[in-house]
Amino acid sequence: MEMEKTLAMVKPDGLRGNYTDRIKLAILKSGFRILKERIMELHEDRASRFYAEHLSRSFLSSLVKYMTRNKNPIADWRAMIGPTDASKAKATHPNSITAMYGLDQRKICVHGSDSLQSAKRERSFFFDEEIVVYVHLEVYKRKNPATTFRRRRRRRRRV
């Protein structure tokens, strides 16, 4: 008999609130086992296909928008960085990263790609895969959640 599986997805508010690890721990403590984990960005067309069962519902467009919020990460990140001159940033964008941590025009602590082409080239320099946003978990329920979790924790402590 094949084991029954389901999908668990940490949505944008879970990621922004930095709750992913706590959610995964709750999953494990409840007796589920995480079989696969994938972090990915959900684009509008893919989100629409995922929620296709809600096509006739009035909330579909707001749900898709919620799941695909960060439409322009390059511009949003550059806005957080602020001007590339720390003294100008302190005067005009005091809450920017450059204003808070930059020292001068060259030492601003962070980098941000200025275009899609640059971002693709720069990401490939450091990462083999795309940097993405959502955590997808494939989980299944264990037979005895409490004892399985305790036994697992004990083994980890001994190692």
List, in sequence order, the alpha helices (H) in 51-144.
Answer: 60-67, 73-81, 86-92, 97-101, 116-126
For residues 46 and 39, what is the distance between their CA atoms, to the nearest angstrom? 15
Question: What distance, in Å, lies between the first and last C-alpha atoms of the chain?
Answer: 34
| Catalytic residue (choose from 54, 93, 111, 136) | 111
Same fold across 1-70+133-159 and 72-127? yes
Query: pLDDT tens digit string along 28-50?
Result: 999 888 988 888 778 888 889 99
Residues 6+ apart with CB under 8 A from 7: 136, 137, 138, 139
Note the pLDDT of residue 133.
44
Q: Is the pLDDT of residue 63 over 50?
A: yes
For residues 61 and 67, what is the distance between their CA atoms, to the nearest angstrom? 10
Q: Is the pLDDT of residue 10 over 80?
A: yes
Q: Is the pLDDT of residue 60 over 80?
A: yes
> Which residue carries 């490939």 as its tokens?
124
Q: Between 95 and 66, where is the model more confident? A: 95
Q: Is the pLDDT of residue 107 over 50?
A: yes
pLDDT grade for 99, boundaries at 50, 70 and 90:
very high
Q: Which two tokens stand for residue 39?
A: 């972090």
Is 111 annotated as catalytic?
A: yes
- The amino acid present at 56, given as its one-letter code, is S
Q: Please say whether the beta carbons of 10 and 19 come within 8 A.
A: yes
Q: Please say whether the beta carbons of 51 and 63 come within 8 A.
A: yes
72-127 has which fold?
Alpha-Beta Plaits (3.30.70)
Note the pLDDT of residue 26.
92
Note the pLDDT of residue 139.
56
Note the pLDDT of residue 16.
78
Q: Which two tokens stand for residue 156?
A: 């980890």
- Percent helix, strand, coil in the chain (nearest 5)? 50, 15, 35
User: Helices 20-29 and 145-158 sit at what angle, rounded to 10 degrees?
Assistant: 120
**Domain 1-70+133-159: CATH architecture, name and number where available:** 2-Layer Sandwich (3.30)
Would you say the C-alpha torsion 135, 9, 69, 41 has a positive or negative sign? Answer: positive
pLDDT grade for 159, boundaries at 50, 70 and 90:
very low
Q: Is the pLDDT of residue 120 over 90?
A: no
Query: pLDDT tens digit string along 123-151?
Result: 888 776 544 444 545 555 555 545 444 44
The ranges assigned to domains in the chain are 1-70+133-159, 72-127
